[in-house]
């Protein structure tokens, strides 16, 4: 199976400019290709991971990746299928984000070894020195307004309004392709399906300005079985930065994907072979309640993004929280596992009696309710049931001298911090 056939089998090819020509190129030569990443935040997220891992697959097959971080285009903003114009960021902010994104990409692509080692580029390197007049004369003349307005990404914004800044974005991305082709003989661009209009602007510019043929592959925008999209603009971002989304949170995300998505995501987000995935699918379908596909998916992706040690920690937190073994976890591990639960900062003058603390921290609604909770065995202190109404919290209840975990009922966790 060729690498192109494998990409199709994994569901990673949404559109291509000329599939027959592209397939032939993959079979006959080493292709130099690029994927662009605009620094619109200080981290990439799972929505970017599809293109990143597709680049990695192509590099492993012997082709040469160029990772373009948009230090220039990040200052402008891509209008593609956005309801409103992005807020412009300062140059200093974008420069900082560029550095962080470059660091993240280096975890997935090999920038050090072999003839096809990856190359990092920043489009500010050419846009920063080109004059406005030169750009209009040498690039703008190859694009008609009718052509630019025909792009679906622009059409959707015409009614609500689009600035010239964002309207011109497609020309900038097209020029990126031209520059990379001229400097490095890059002949293929990979990106999300929402980028089709911007990407074909590059192939059109190469044809008109340099009489060259280039190719585009778009990967699908990933949605779950309900149609919900991965991406920060959707309010459900899972970031690649461990400080923004912990390995435990990422592990839980994959562990909880729907059965209908699990095998499909194994093909897209892991490097298990298609034969291995077929074996997993057979076992998974025989006993879906065991969630084998989700467990393997979570293991593979967390290990890929954060490393084996982070995966083992996420697994430990998951297992120990499920078992209620709070004391077996460190404060750092508990902060990961309980990051979204209600927290109360204990004050020095608080009454440390358990009933008083349950009310003060908002765990129980009243003293009467708190006493009932304790007497009925509904309160667990660091995983152990507490039924003494006169119990006072002490230093021995502090995990790593930082926090205390209280559980009310089977699943309601609360954290006291000091």
Buried b (16+ CB within 10 A) or exposed e, 38-67: bbbbbbbbbbbbbbbbbbbbbbebebbbbb
Name residues whose C-beta falls within 8 Å of residue 358's C-beta, 6 or more positions apart in sequence.
Answer: 364, 370, 373, 374, 379, 406
DSSP conformation class of 37 = E
User: What is the location of CATH 3.40.50.620 in the chain?
Assistant: 3-219
Report whether 347 belongs to an annotated binding site: no
- Give CATH for domain 3-219: 3.40.50.620
| d(C-alpha 270, C-alpha 192), whole Å | 18
Report whether 169 belongs to an annotated binding site: yes
- Give CATH for domain 232-323: 1.10.240.10
User: What is the location of CATH 3.10.290.10 in the chain?
Assistant: 343-417
What pLDDT was estimated at residue 1?
Answer: 83
The DSSP bridge pattern shows strands 403-408 and 379-381 to be antiparallel
What pLDDT was estimated at residue 11?
Answer: 96
Rounded to the nearest 5°, which phi and psi values hold at 388? -95, 110
**Angle, CA 186 vertex, CA 55 and CA 241 arms, to 5°:** 35
What pLDDT was estimated at residue 86?
Answer: 65
Report whether 66 belongs to an annotated binding site: no
Report whether 244 belongs to an annotated binding site: no
Residue range 111-121, pLDDT digits in tens: 999 999 999 99
Return the structure tokens found at 95. 């420069």
Q: What is the pLDDT along the chain (418 residues), one digit of tens a residue?
A: 889 999 999 999 999 999 999 999 999 999 999 999 999 889 999 989 999 999 999 999 999 999 999 999 988 877 775 666 667 788 888 889 999 999 999 999 999 999 999 999 999 999 999 999 999 999 999 999 999 988 887 887 877 788 888 899 999 999 999 999 999 999 999 999 989 999 999 999 999 999 999 999 999 988 877 787 765 555 668 999 999 999 999 999 999 999 999 999 999 999 999 999 999 999 999 999 999 999 999 999 999 999 999 999 999 999 999 989 999 999 999 999 998 899 999 999 999 999 999 999 999 999 999 999 999 999 999 999 999 999 999 999 999 999 999 999 988 999 999 9
DSSP conformation class of 400 = T
CATH architecture of 343-417: Roll (3.10)
What pLDDT was estimated at residue 230?
Answer: 67
What pLDDT was estimated at residue 226?
Answer: 79
Contact (CB, 8 A) for 49 and 87: no
Residue with tokens 């995935």: 277
What pLDDT was estimated at residue 235?
Answer: 60
The DSSP bridge pattern shows strands 64-69 and 15-16 to be unpaired
Buried b (16+ CB within 10 A) or exposed e, 343-365: ebebeeeeeebbbebbbbbebbe
Q: What are the distances in angstroms from CA 367 to CA 3, 216, 300, 342, 357? A: 66, 66, 47, 19, 10
The alpha carbon of residue 118 and the mean position of all alpha carbons in its chain are separated, in whole angstroms, by 21
């Amino acid at each position: 199976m060729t690498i192109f056939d494998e990409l199709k089998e994994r569901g990673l090819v949404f559109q291509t400019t000329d599939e027959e020509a592209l397939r032939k190129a993959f079979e006959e030569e080493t292709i130099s290709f690029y994927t662009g990443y605009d620094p619109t935040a200080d981290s990439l997220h799972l929505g970017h991971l599809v293109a990143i891992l597709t680049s990695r697959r192509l590099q492993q097959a012997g082709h040469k990746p160029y990772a373009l971080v948009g230090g220039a285009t990040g200052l402008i903003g891509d209008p593609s299928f956005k309801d409103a114009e992005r807020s412009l960021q300062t140059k200093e902010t974008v420069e900082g984000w560029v550095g962080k994104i470059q660091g993240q990409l280096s975890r997935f692509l090999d920038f050090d070894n072999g003839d096809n080692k990856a190359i990092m580029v920043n489009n500010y390197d050419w846009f920063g020195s080109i004059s406005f007049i030169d750009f209009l004369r040498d690039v703008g003349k190859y694009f008609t307004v009718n052509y630019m307005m025909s792009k679906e990404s622009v059409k959707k914004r015409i009614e609500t309004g689009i600035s010239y800044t964002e309207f011109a974005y497609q020309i900038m991305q097209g020029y990126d392709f031209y520059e990379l082709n001229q400097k490095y003989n890059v002949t293929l661009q990979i990106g999300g399906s929402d980028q089709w209009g911007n990407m074909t602007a590059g192939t059109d510019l190469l044809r008109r300005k340099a009489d060259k043929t280039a190719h585009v592959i778009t990967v699908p925008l990933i949605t779950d079985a309900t149609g919900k999209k991965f991406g920060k603009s959707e309010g459900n971002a899972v970031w690649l930065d461990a400080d923004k989304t912990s390995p435990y949170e990422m592990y839980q995300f994959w562990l909880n994907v729907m059965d209908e998505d699990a095998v499909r995501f194994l093909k897209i987000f892991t490097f298990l072979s298609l034969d291995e995935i077929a074996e997993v699918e057979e076992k998974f379908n025989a006993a879906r309640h065991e969630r084998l596909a989700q467990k393997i998916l979570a293991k593979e992706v967390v290990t890929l993004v954060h490393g084996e040690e982070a995966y083992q920690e996420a697994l430990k937190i998951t297992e120990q929280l499920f078992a209620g073994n709070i004391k077996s976890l460190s404060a750092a591990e508990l902060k990961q596992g309980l990051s979204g639960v209600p927290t109360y900062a204990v004050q020095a003058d608080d009454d440390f009696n358990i009933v008083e603390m349950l009310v003060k921290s908002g765990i129980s609604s009243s003293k009467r309710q708190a006493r009932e909770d304790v007497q009925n065995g509904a309160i667990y202190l660091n995983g152990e049931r507490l039924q003494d109404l006169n119990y006072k919290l002490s230093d021995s209840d502090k995990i790593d001298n930082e926090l205390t975990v209280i559980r009310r009922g089977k699943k309601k966790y609360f954290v006291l911090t000091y």
